[in-house]
Structures are given as structure tokens and as C-alpha cells.
Structure 1
Amino acid sequence: MRYLFEEYAFDTDLRELYRGGHVVSVAPQVFDLLDYLIRNRGRVVSKDDLINTVWNGRIVSDAALTTRLNVARSVIGDSGEKQRLIKTLQRKGFRFVGTVQEVQRPADAPLTADSGEQSFQNVAHPDPSNAEAQDGLASGAHNGSTISISPATPRLSIVVLPFANFGGDPEQDYFVDGVTESLTTDLSRISGSFVIARNTAFTFKGKAVDVKQVGRELNVRYVLEGSVQRGGNRLRVNVQLIDAGTGNHLWAERFEKPVADLFDMQDEIVSRLANTLNAQLIQVEARRAERSTHPDAMDLYFQGWAYENNGTTAEYMTQAQALFDRALALDAGNIEALVGSARVKAALGANLMSDDWAAHFVAAEAVLIRVLSLAPNHARAHSILGLVQSCTNRAVQGIAECERALALDHNLADAHAFIGLAKFFLGRSEETEAHIHDALRLSPRDNNAYRWFMFAGLAKLFLGADLQAVAWLRRSIEANRNHPVPHCHLAAALALLGSPDEARAAAQAGLVLNPTFTLRRYRGSAKSNNPAYLAGRERVYEGMRMAGVPEG
């Protein structure tokens, strides 16, 4: 059955939500919640109705229920304030109030827009600009019959095998399965990924598997497997990423936390895993691409993003941009290469790599507008546009763009950090740290965390909390020493604290990474006209001058 409302199509057979021609990623529990509300749109649904149906009667906190209702609203373009489609009736319950048209799916309808040969599909359709990501789809049945495999294995293709419940408690199964299902959904948000649907993945539950055989049967490059163990009030999650072709372990991680709200914990574990795996898969694909004698656009894209992750020196940015340019020369409409190119341009502007820093932001925004005209729901493009707007005296618009990005991908930690930076530009530096902690909660080992630490350090420095600023800025430098800006701000903080020798050493370290940086360039690069922000800049300017940064 398909339910049509506004520009959305809610398909209960495929368990997918479409907005126009694009699949919207929806966590399994949120899909079930929407399903129940839409099917029962003729009446008010109580809190108990939802808990009994969606959570099978388990104890659920009001906060957890509210969180999932808010997510359900966001994926269909609604909000708690507007309540255009899902209305909350005080002390009564909830009701889906949108106008719905029911469309019966023909029994022989194909599962995808392709020829209908495959009987299982990826959770999120690959970006249409990446033709290779759609090659090599397997066909066959879920019941163990022989599966025909195409010789080409899609990049970023992965199956999340059902996690093992090592605690032995059958009541723990729902949590373990929930981690597996949510991780399958969240990994599908990685652009260009091909993730085997949960119905197929769960046919392997409780079975001893040969990962090479799984890779051949499902035609995927990677297998993710893991286990969950609960002991007393602590929960341990072990995860490993395996190369399906060789059986080699590529990455492993262990998470251990006190047991609190299991649903909140499930969200946190899944977010951390999804963000970490995103970075790991890019690195693995970049290494594969380096060995290719005839790299294509996506090979070059992965290599470019790997260089971008190294740091914001002129050398790394130049190499990253060259790789994205080569990718676009091969495929001018490659969305991911365009987004990567915009990210490099924005980084060049934000880090004052030249006197024409503002021109880099103009170029980045032009690329992002093109991207969003082609792929309006590209979450990372929205977040980078938010950064660009915030850095060009439009921080309120920047915050709105980043909030849009988070509605599309709640795991996008960068967007939280960019909101913190925007508030810094608005003279609300005391709010920045909380947004950095939001980003770190989702992705504590993120490749971009060094930038987030710097944002917090800048906010503290502008507030006059110099000791805290030093701590955050040193943390930024320890996370990635190839980023010139925190060195220069650390120099200012140390000078203002009365440590001239350390300040001069920090300034020199920054100038080694960006020899063209001057006080003149810094003074002419204000990102906002907010009085509190401008007053903080004058204080930092004086600190940099004391540390020996050249006037220029």
C-alpha cells in the first residue's frame, strides 16, 4: 500500500518514504510510528496506543516518545510548532491530520525503478549521478535460493549483519536488533552508499557465517558485524568492519557505557558508529582508488575527500581541489565531487589562506546552489552552505540551513558545530560550547573534531576565558597539527595570559603552516558586524600582535 500526502509517498510494502523522486531515510521505529498514525488518521491516537503498537508495550519515557514524534514530523517536513500533519491534542493524544490518498501497489510491481530483477534492495537509493554505485545489484530470493551475482561490486556497498546478543537475555534482543536496524538505516545516508536491506540481512541472524560467502552472495565490498553484551548496569558493544573480498579486518571499535535510557543509548551508539564508519569507508575507498591505473570520477572523489580530511594547509587543500577538479572533468554532474569542491573553497575562505578569502566563499556558495538545485535534500550541502552564510555576515540564515541539514540527517555532527560557530559570530559565544558537545556526542572521534575544538576555543577567547581557550585550542592542535588558525589564536591567548615565550612559539608554528597570514588580513576578515564579536576581535588582535604575528 502507498499513502500519498502533499509531496510525499509512504510505501508500507517497501517500508520507504519518498519526497518527490527521492528516498527519505527513516529509522525503523519512526517508520512504524508514522505507519500507525497514518493508518489510524480517522481518530486520536493515545500515548498508550503508540507504546503498545510501536514499542510492544515496553516502558518508554515521555522524552523518548517526544523525540521520536519530533523526528517523525521532521522527515515529513512538519514541526512541533506548525503541526501541519501530525497534531498533538493536549491530554488526549496525537492525530495525523494531513489529506491522504491510498494507492494499492500491484502485486507484480517491481521493488525499484529499475527492471525489477532484484528481490531485495539498498535502503537508500544511490545518488543518480553515481552510475557505478548502481551497478552489480544482486538478484534472487530471500529464502536461500541461488543468487545471481553481477561481476561489478558497488563502491561503499555493505551489509550490517544482525548483532549477536552475548548477554543471553532474550529480552535484550529487541535492543540488539534495534541497533542493527537503525545502523542499517543510518549508513544509507552516506552519499553513494549501497546498504543491503534489513530483511535480507536478518536472514543471517543466529547463523555462523563466512563473510567471503556473504560478500559473494550479496555482492558487497564490506561486512559489518558486532555484538552487544550487558553486564549489570553497563553495556558493551563490539563492532568490526571486514573486507568481504579478503576477509581482512579493516577496523574495530568497542563502546562501553553505563546503562541509562536504552532508547537514547541506542541512538547515541548508532550515531557514533555511523559517523566513524563514514570516515573509515572513505579512507578505505581512497586507498583502493590509489591502486587504480585508470581512476574514474568516484575514485578521484574519495582521494580528494581523504586529502581534505588531512588538514587545511595550502598543500592539502590544493591536492584535494585538484582531485575534485579531475573528477568533475570526467563527470561534470558528480554531486559528491561538487560538494567536496565547495568544502575546500569554504575552508580556504574560513582559514584566511589568501587576501581574497571572501572570493572563496562566493565560489563555494555558487557551487552549493548548483548542488541543491540538483539534489535539494543533500544534507552535507545544506550544512556547508550554512557555514558559508555564517562566515559572510548571514549567521541567522546559516543556522537555519544547518537545522535543515540536521532534519535530513540527524547524524550530521558538523551541522551542530557550525551552529555553534554561527552563534559565536552573532555575539552569543556563551552558547557555542554546548553545540560543540552536541557534535562530539554524535561523533567523538570525528575527522573534523579539530575544527570543533577550535570553535569552542575561539568562543572562550572572545569571552575573556583565556585559560579555557588555551585548553580547547591545544586540544584542537593535538587532534590535527595541520590546521594553522588555532596556532595563531593559541598565541593570542597565551600572550594575553602573560606567557610571551609560549605565545611566540605558537605563532611561529601557525606561520609555518600558513606563511602568508598577517594581522592586516586578520583585521580585515570580520565575519559579522555584531558589537560583542567585534570587541572580542580587537582583544585577540592585540594578543596576536604581542605574540609576534607580522603586521603585513
Structure 2
Amino acid sequence: MALPDANCMILTWTQHGAESSASSPRGMSVIRRLTTIFYADVPGYRRLTGVDEVGTHQRVMAMLDDVTARISAAGGTFLRYAGGAVLATFPSVVMAVDIAAEIQNALADGNAARVPDDRVSIRIGINLGDVIKDRGEVYGDGVNLAARLEAAATPGGVYLSAAADDRVAGKAMVTFTDGGEQELKNIERPVRIFHWAPSEQLPDMAHSAPALPDKPSIAILAFNNMSGDPEQEYFADGVTEDIITELSKYRSIFVIARNSSFAYKGHAVDIKQIGQELGVRHVLEGSVRKSAQRVRVTAQLIEAANGNHLLAERYDRTLVDVFELQDEITETIVATIQPEPEVAERERARRKSPENLTAWDHYQCGMWHSYRAKPDDTALAESCFHDALAVDDRYATAHAGLGYCAFQRTLYYAENESLDDRATLLDRAISHVRTAVEIDDRDPFGQFVLGRLYALRGDFDVAEERLRRAIELNPNFALAYHGLGYTLTLSGREEEAASLFERAPRFSPADQYHWGIYSMASFNQVPLGNHEAAVEYARKGVRDMPNIFWARVHLISALSKLGRDDEARRAADEILKVLREFTTAMIDRAIVIKNPEVRERYLASLHKAVLPA
């Protein structure tokens, strides 16, 4: 929204004895106060109303009602609304900052239950400055600065002026980071700002700029679908994924995982920026055009630092040659960035392709659905994998795909399975994946899925062996590092696991599955006594994937252990809004913790928050 002085939420704090009065040019008395000004507004309000005017208005008004209720409950005085903003006063700088943090944390938790396009957030700017009080309102430069701080803040964040930060340092419930001096619109001098947001309380695994590895490194971006048919999107994705998979088997090359590379899909890309964000020297981009029984693939290998094209190739093939085409592209990349790979590496990277292209087509459709991590998509993925096996019953990765769907259903959607169903599902899934490994024991995906399934069954030694084998076959396999960390945490080796949660994101800095790493890192931190860290990791997991309950559960546990019972109960209420039938019995059957004392303490922390048994 625009930023006229009136369109704001302002919380003011009056220092006793700091009020003064003066005469205006018209002879009227003007009251001045040293006041904490709290300015909040809804970013993108007009855009949101343009998409869904009634729905957006209702959500914004409900949010603002909650905000004003919190202000009143904490001793504030509401003054007025102005569009998507509120004006109020407050009796203390520290209390104003604490209520800002409470509001933003509550909004972050509430937004986590919505898809990104439906989320409504606010930005908050807080300044301690001189204001004019007149007719129940406040005016002046102090208000203007708070407004500009809000405009500079990130959605969901809080910006403080230096004067405000001086008053709350060491006293508020959150810690602000010095953001240095910034130029703010219509403010004459640079302003030193301090910032905080729920997502800033721990270093974000996804956003730190990683250093370049000490060997050739590459990110392979999702190839563009040029077929003119959106239904062929999975085919272009499949070609890209196969190239990533085959290239990842070369130990001498650092390859960014699929999920981080695909994070840039559909966006205009700056190759230099991608190189910096993912920490790689080379980027491959390309396109796929499928027409009748022919396919055309273009590929450009680019040096990220300077944009130089190291190769640009166009491949025209029949569809039956698609696997040879992918191998050819892989070999060309290897020869360009690593001229002399070892013979053993070439042997390790050699693919075992399905006998039939149609089977591969069904398999890629299944993987496309499984990446969406939703119950309906998991069911569609299972159907696709069964179709692949109906065409080629020796297709190893399709067997592994069925196992991965069972893993998702057992761990992510545990509310849908009884204890007997879970055991039957795991047995059937393990049978499928053992078949996959018997067909192709060099496929890292099969080893990975088998390890995760054995961990769910509590066979931690076998799980660890399989996951380490997956990493041996694909040293760039980010999810395998995460899975191993999960397994070691459940088996009581939390400190060893913690290092794996730190390591996994390097292989996939922009991964859509970081919510899983955040969630399990939260659980990992509790036995180590790092409860504050556990809370922050859990909040990140909730933010990134609201549909999966695990991060919410770990948040409740960590808050309970910190004695923050009111927050834990609110978090419990939120999980029951998302999953009405949720009970701790679901957790008891879905997670296998080797140490019974750790298990009992964990479940007790959930009962403490009044979660139903």
C-alpha cells in the first residue's frame, strides 16, 4: 500500500515527564511527546485484492482484528484502522517490540497452513522519536521514519531504528541484527536499522552463499519444455533429472541436487547469480521439444563467473534413442569440465536403462507427482509406477518409486494409516525396493529408499548401511545425507547426526525439501538440550511445508520443554486446525525412537500441550 502518514499502525509509548506543549501559529496548544511509533502495513494489499477482493478483505480484517486484540491484551490503546493498517499506542518500548515479535510469530504459524499465494503478512517498523499529539492522533517526523522503516522491512519482519534498539537491547524476547545504514525514501540522512523476523533467528540453510568446492562443480537447470503442450512438462523434467542423476555418480564432479536446480524453473535466470547462490563454477541450461516420435534437445554449458559458453549443442533423435542422448550429453559435460575422469568413474556412472521408453515415461510422471508431497499426488505417483512396471517389470527405479510412495504415506501422512496398515505397507514397500536393488544394486535411489524404510521399521543398522551405500554411489545425494542424519538421531547418535544436517544443504542450497531438514534438525536439537534452536528450526519447517505435521509437532515439544506453555498450547491449537483428527498416538506409531526414555519424554511434552492422546 501507499505510505501517507495516516495509513499506518502506530503503537506509541510516552516517557513520563517527556511531554511538552507549544503554541501553533494559530495560537492553539500543540502537545509533543517522545514516543515509540509502531507502524505496520500489509504489503501487496492491492495486488491481493485484485486476485480475490472479498476473500483477501476478510483475511486481512481477521488478521487486523487479531492484531488489535493482542495490542489491547498487552495494555495498548487502539486508535484507528487505515485500509490494511492500524494505529495504536503502547506504554513501553520493550512491550511494543515483544508484541511485534508475538504478532509476527503468530502470523508465520498461521500462514504456514496456507499455500504461498493465499498468505497475508505484515511488515513492521518501530521508531523512538518526537511526535505531535493532536485530536487523538500522532504526527511528525518520528511517524514518517517508522513508516519508512516498515516499507524497507521484509514481509513478516520487524525493523527498528537505532534509538528504539538502544531501549530494548537485552530486554526484549527477541534479538535484532544490525543491518547498517540505509537510505530511506524522503528521509534526509541515512538511517541505521536493526532487523528481526521469525525466519532470521537461525542461519537459513537455504540462503547462505556457499564457497566453491575444490573440484569441478555444476548446476543443471530444468530444461524448458518447448513442445507447446503443458502435459509434456514431466518429459522435459525427466530428461533433466536423468542427466543430473548420471552426472552425480562421478565423484570427481560436484553436482547440485535436482531440487535446488529446479528452484529456478519458470524464472528469468541470471547465470552469474545462480553460480553464486549455489556455489558452482558451471551451469547447464537447455530445452526439450517432443513431437510425434522425435525429440530435439538443446544444451548450453556456461561458465557462471563470466557467462562464457563452453559448449552449445543441438541433438535431434528418435524417441527410442532418448537414453543414448542423455548419456551423450552427460559424457560431453564430463569431457568439458573434467577432461580425464577415471575409468572406474565411467563404470560407476554407466546407466541401466529400462527396456521400454513407455516405462520410463510412466516413471517420470510418477516422480513428478511424488515431488509434490501431497496425499493425492502420492496416490497418482503410485499409479504411474504400477503402469511403468506393467510395461517393464524389471524397471528397478519404478520398484523403488513404489517404495518411496509408501515411505511418504507412512511418515508424512501417518494419520491415514492404522498400526496394522503401517506394518503391512512397510513390508510390501521393502519387498518392492529389495527387488529394485536386486535388479540394479548400483542405483543410489533404491539404496536410499530402502534405508529410509528400514529406519521407519526401527532396523537402524541396516538403514545406516543402505544410506551410506547410497552416498557412496552418489556422493552428491543431499537427501541421503538428510536420511542418514534422521536415522542416527532416532538411534541415539544425535551429535553425529547434527553434522549431517549441516552438510546436506550444501549439495542442494535451494531445495524444496529443506522443510524436512529443518523439521528433523529441530527434533535432533532437543536431546542435545538446544531447545531454542529446536524452536527456530521447527518454525522454518512449518513455514516451508504447512501440510506436513512433523515440524508443528517438534515445535510443540520444544516449546513445552522451554516452559513456554501458552505458546505450546497455541501451536497445538494450530495443528488441530490443520489436522482435526490428530492425536499423539499417530506420532507414537509413526516414529521409532530407540531410547525408550527419550521417546517417553518426547510424548510427555506433547501431552503437556494438551494434544489429544
TM range (shorter): 0.3 to 0.5
The alignment's TM-score, normalised by the length of structure 1, stands at 0.48
Larger radius of gyration: 2
